[in-house]
Amino acid sequence: MIDPISIGIAFSAAQSAVSHIKQAIALGKDINGLVGEFGKFFQSADAVHAASMKAKIAHIGRSDAELGRMALEFAMHSNKLREDERALKDMIYWQLGKPQIWEDMIRERTRLIKMRQDEERAQAEAKQRDKEKMAEIFMMVMYLVGGGAILFAVAMGGISIYGIMEEQRVYQEQVARVANIKRQRQQAEERRQKDEALAASK
């Protein structure tokens, strides 16, 4: 999230660096002694340029007019700094007659920016790979947990079925035992009746 105050400070720092560079060149000072000022200018200018391009302004509680004003300020700051950069280039080219210094500086700056972007991209890709790896591990754990739950459910179902079958078996044995007892009693009663009939016939 962009902080408008920080952007204002960065813009002021860039303007201050430009002023010091112009004064030093006007006084005939060696440009080699202005490396720090050039670095300050480009660092501050990059911050403002990035802000004007992203325009991720904190919008909660702000009116449309205020947001529009802030966006315009960012764009104007960025445009002014591009003009300053062209002015510095012209001074080095024509006042000092050292275009090679500017070309070398821009080339090195471009190289360093690319290195930074490559590093940032590599870090972002590494973070993404870590996220994907964590997601894969999470899914694997979920699959294992789900598989375990299914196996548990199957095992519990098997135990339940076995229990029902065992109860049925015991019940059938009890029914068969009762039927056998009834049959034995009936046979005993039939034998008793036969014995009584034989005894009565004698």
- For the stretch 10-34, pLDDT in tens is 888 888 888 988 888 888 877 777 8
Q: Environment class of residue 15 by beta-carbon count within 10 Å: exposed (0-12), middle (13-18) or buried (19+)?
A: middle
Higher pLDDT, 62 or 177: 177
Question: Which pLDDT value is given to residue 1?
Answer: 47
* Mean of the per-residue pLDDT values of the chain: 81
User: Roughly what angle, to the nearest 10 degrees, separates helices 4-26 and 35-54?
Assistant: 150
Q: Which amino acid is at 108?
A: E
C-beta separation of 52 from 77 below 8 A: yes
Helix, strand, or coil (residue 54): helix
Share of the chain above pLDDT 70, in %: 92
pLDDT at position 58 = 52
Q: Cα 32 from chain centroid?
A: 45
Looking at the whole model, is its pTM more than 0.75?
no
Higher-scoring residue by pLDDT: 121, 95: 121
Q: Is residue 106 part of a domain?
A: no
Residue 57 structural domain:
4-97
Given this model, what pLDDT does residue 3 score? 61
Instruction: Look up residue 171 and give its two tokens.
Output: 């019940």
The H-or-E segment that residue 46 falls in is helix 35-54
Report the share of the chain in percent with pLDDT over 90: 0
Is 112 contained in some domain? Answer: no
- Rounded to an integer, the average pLDDT of 175-191 is 83
- The two tokens of residue 131 are 């996220």
Within-domain flag for 190: no
- The count of domains in the chain is 1
| 166 part of a folded domain | no
Q: What one-letter code names the amino acid at 60?
A: I
Q: List, for residues 45-61, the tens digit of each pLDDT value.
A: 887 777 666 655 455 55
The answer to the question of residue 18 being in a domain is yes
Residues 6+ apart with CB under 8 A from 168: none
| Mean pLDDT computed over 137-152 | 84
Enter the tokens of residue 201. 């016939």
Q: How far apart (Å, rounded) are the C-alpha atoms in residues 104 and 143?
A: 58
Residue 96 has pLDDT above 50, yes or no: yes
Location of structure tokens 């009762």? 178
Asked if residue 55 belongs to a domain, the reply is yes
Q: What is the mean pLDDT of residues 182-197?
A: 80
Q: Which residues pair with 57 in a beta bridge?
A: 2
**130 domain-assigned:** no
